[in-house]
Amino acid sequence: MLFNTFIVVVTVAAMELFSIVAHKYIMHGFGWGWHKSHHEERTGWFEKNDLYAVFFAGIAIALIYAGTRGHHPLEWIGAGMTAYGFLYFVAHDGLVHRRWPFTYIPRRGYLKRLYQAHRMHHAVQGKEGTVSFGFLYAPPVARLKQQLHALHQGAPRARPREGAATGLQDVPPAS
């Protein structure tokens, strides 16, 4: 049981590392066709970007199925992917994007930093010149502000959204 728990925890951590790379190079690269909807105003419950969640849920389900059919420890890897998906749903879709009734705006600590980092990711119009590609890991806000400033110096394709130079209008300054 301890080994299985270890596999789930390691998988959650590995999923965050994978997600950072996938978000930066796939979603903001050749997979922009699906992800673009996430950087635009949403109309309705769903957006094309949700297809990524469906795709990875399918992989997790397949791993759990294979693991329960004797290919251990695949079921625990699939469980870790599922746990990561749940954390993503709560933190990203709930806290940051308020896709379900969630009115809490964090004022301090890790959740505030996560909220600010993702808001800074969305402060740029388009796929170029964005910062902070993690979903559960948030670099220090001061470093992200420096990166945004450096990326926008002489970069006409990476322009801030109108009225969202930092993406932090409704969050108190970092403490």
* pLDDT per residue as tens, the chain (175 positions): 999 999 999 999 999 999 999 999 999 999 999 999 999 998 888 999 999 999 999 999 999 999 999 999 999 999 999 999 999 999 999 999 988 887 888 999 999 999 999 999 999 989 999 999 999 999 999 999 999 989 887 655 555 554 444 444 444 444 4
Cα–Cα distance for residue pair 87/93, rounded to 1 Å: 9
Q: State which H helix or E strand residue 160 sits in.
A: strand 159-160
* Domain ranges for the chain: 2-96, 109-160
pLDDT score, position 167: 45
pLDDT score, position 164: 47
56-to-39, 67, 72, 123 alpha-carbon distances in Å: 20, 16, 19, 26
> Distance of alpha carbon 95 from its chain centroid, rounded?
11
Cα–Cα distance for residue pair 100/93, rounded to 1 Å: 7
Residue 118, phi then psi, degrees to nearest 5: -75, -35
Cα–Cα distance for residue pair 175/162, rounded to 1 Å: 26
Gyration radius of the chain over CA positions: 17
